Amino acid sequence: MILRVEGLETYIGEFHILQGVSLEVPPGEVTVILGRNGAGKTTTLRSIMGLLQPARGEIQFQGQPITGLPAHIIARKGIGYVPEDHGIFSTLTVEENLRLALGSRREELLEKVLELFPDLKVALRKRAGSLSGGQKQMLALGRALVTESRLLLIDEPSKGLAPFMVEKVGEVIRQIKEETTVVLVEQNFNLASAVGDRYYIVDDGRTVAHGEVAELVRDTSLQQRYLGVSLHRH
């Protein structure tokens, strides 16, 4: 396992938000985290990334404990994070955003990422704030990719995007998977089931079910119980 999370509990202020989240993430796969709005998915990613301090539980990355380490150290160890709000700098250009993330890494890396995102290549001189929602998401993914992370945590990349852009996000995640392990939080069940290998369901701050995505696709009662999505599938 590239990532193991065991019995994670996190408070935000006085609120006991995570009350027992456990995950095992095999390398080379896309593990999707599903669950209703407010279930604790974002809090889980933020806790893994060191942006929130867990009160209890253990997180291991590549066999090493990382629980409680600050976010910049965790990033340096090889975990990338694409937050829900993209985490891009609106007043900087696309290129400046990418170069900031690239740092002193090889220039070829930037070229490689731009090949994956032709939309960004033509928009290099544009201010990130002027991009469409879909382009911002591509820039956020591009920024994460130039950091050469071993593991990428991606939070709801399809949020607010038109259906054709959601499909594009799916293609990009499939390509990312060729080189990087992915933990994907996703509310869009069609996207989650199209790219995911394994799933975890988080409900009320706890992991309540997990298995292969192919099984979940067949298990409409589980979908209805925790996700309320099966009626929307076609």
Ligand X SMILES: Nc1ncnc2c1ncn2[C@@H]1O[C@H](COP(=O)(O)OP(=O)(O)O)[C@@H](O)[C@H]1O
Token pair for residue 22? Answer: 């456990």
35 makes contact, choosing from Mg ion, ligand X, none, with CB < 5 to 8 Å by partner type, with ligand X
CB 138 within 8 A of CB 97: no
Residue identified by tokens 């060729």 is 178
Beta bridge partners, 199, equal 32, 211
Beta bridge partners, 207, equal 202
Q: Is 154 in the site for ligand X (CB under 6 A)?
A: no
- Residue count (the chain): 234
Q: Is 55 in the site for ligand X (CB under 6 A)?
A: no
Q: Near Mg ion by CB under 5 A, which window of 35-43, 64-72, 159-167, 187-195?
A: 35-43
Q: Near ligand X by CB under 6 A, which window of 11-19, 138-146, 159-167, 211-219?
A: 11-19
* CB count in 10 Å sphere of residue 98: 24
User: How far apart are CB 40 and ligand X at their closest, in Å?
Assistant: 4
Name which position in 42, 135, 137, 193 contacts ligand X (CB under 6 A): 42
Q: Is 43 in the site for Mg ion (CB under 5 A)?
A: no
User: How far apart are CB 99 and ligand X at their closest, in Å?
Assistant: 30
Instruction: Report how far residue 136's alpha carbon sits from residue 168's, in angstroms, rounded to the nearest whole number.
Output: 13
Surface-to-core class of residue 233, CB atoms within 10 Å of its CB (0-12 exposed, 13-18 middle, 19+ buried): exposed
80 makes contact, choosing from Mg ion, ligand X, none, with CB < 5 to 8 Å by partner type, with none
Nearer to ligand X, 83 or 117 (CB): 83
Token pair for residue 27? Answer: 């390398």
- Terminal CA-CA length for the chain: 34
Per-residue binding letters, 195-224, with ligand X (x by CB under 6 A) = ------------------------------
Per-residue binding letters, 15-34, with ligand X (x by CB under 6 A) = x-x-----------------
Instruction: Report how far residue 69's alpha carbon sits from residue 53's, in angstroms, rounded to the nearest whole number.
Output: 8
Name which position in 31, 35, 97, 201 contacts ligand X (CB under 6 A): 35
**Measured torsion, CA atoms of residues 163, 193, 117, 159, in degrees rounded to the nearest 10:** 50
Binding stretches for Mg ion (CB under 5 A): 41-42
Binding stretches for ligand X (CB under 6 A): 12-13, 15, 17, 35, 37-43
